[in-house]
Structure 1
Amino acid sequence: MLEALLDHGLARRGAHDTLGLTPLGTAVMLAKRELTEQAKGDLAEARQTRSNRPPAERFRPDSYTLTQTLHALRNGHHPSDIAQMRNLAESTICEHMMSLAARGERFDLTPHLEVVFLEELRQKAAGWKPGDAVSTIRDALDEEECDWTKLKIHLVQVFLE
């Protein structure tokens, strides 16, 4: 993704390998300019490539953001609270949890679980692992509406067991 941003002049490398937006990148972010069709295609391809990688491979082993999430999980924080504390989307924290679990990291989610829902998932998600579709499990649930964060927290727990 970063290479695509650099290739299309939306970002530039700074000192010490930092990245920053170019004036064009800023204009696109502020919706003052549109991406070219080529840039849209390249960015979509980059996003798809990342999404198809197994969760354990989506972040570097020494990733600062994963380390921060793991630390917060081990300190008993609810994933939604972690998202708020770190100014990240809940879906990002859920992705972190799946990546961490797939790598074999251990953390306790039991204070944040609903026992009845967990039991239902144990039956319907047997054999599920991070990287497998979550939507198929959601479709198999008895609940008409299911919060994605709640589902992912419980799925990670099932996997960790």
Structure 2
Amino acid sequence: MASSSSEAQFVTFSLGEEIFAVPVEVVREILDHEEPFKIPHGPDYLLGLRDVRGHGVPVIDLRLRLGMTGTEKTPHTRILVLDVPVADRVLALGLVADRVYEVVPFNRSQVETAPDIGVRWRSDYIAGVVRRESGFVVIIDLARLFSDSGSALVSLETPARVA
């Protein structure tokens, strides 16, 4: 039990030259990129739906969601199918990544808070930053990324509720 509190496993992937990570426990599978079924009137980062083992999963262009330029598909483009805990339920999402690299362990002591300067996206979506020889790895807080202004995604699976 002690190792789980001091070390966690993450899947690393790139968006352009930037390296990001998500906790391995939320990654259901990694798929080759296929064009999703388009959903009319969705936000620009919602590319559409993809059939994943008989279930429609919303596919998100994470680059657009983070305020970057849209993904240009290559032979390395992948979709990470994630089960993201949001509020009182789990949201299944497909995130488009330019390239998926590896599963790596990070010690808690390696994870720094997000800097306020030099970051091109809103830092409240960053769970932490890890320094590596080749640069930094940004750990994304998926629950925050898809719960605040990501309400259009949440309403795909359940009707919006008024609090």
Tell me, yes or no, whether TM beats 0.5.
no
Task: Identify the structure with the greater helix proportion.
Answer: 1
Structure whose residues are more often strand by fraction: 2
Structure having greater relative contact order (Cα 8 Å, sep ≥ 6): 2
TM-score, with structure 1 as normaliser: 0.24
Which structure has the greater CA radius of gyration?
Answer: 1
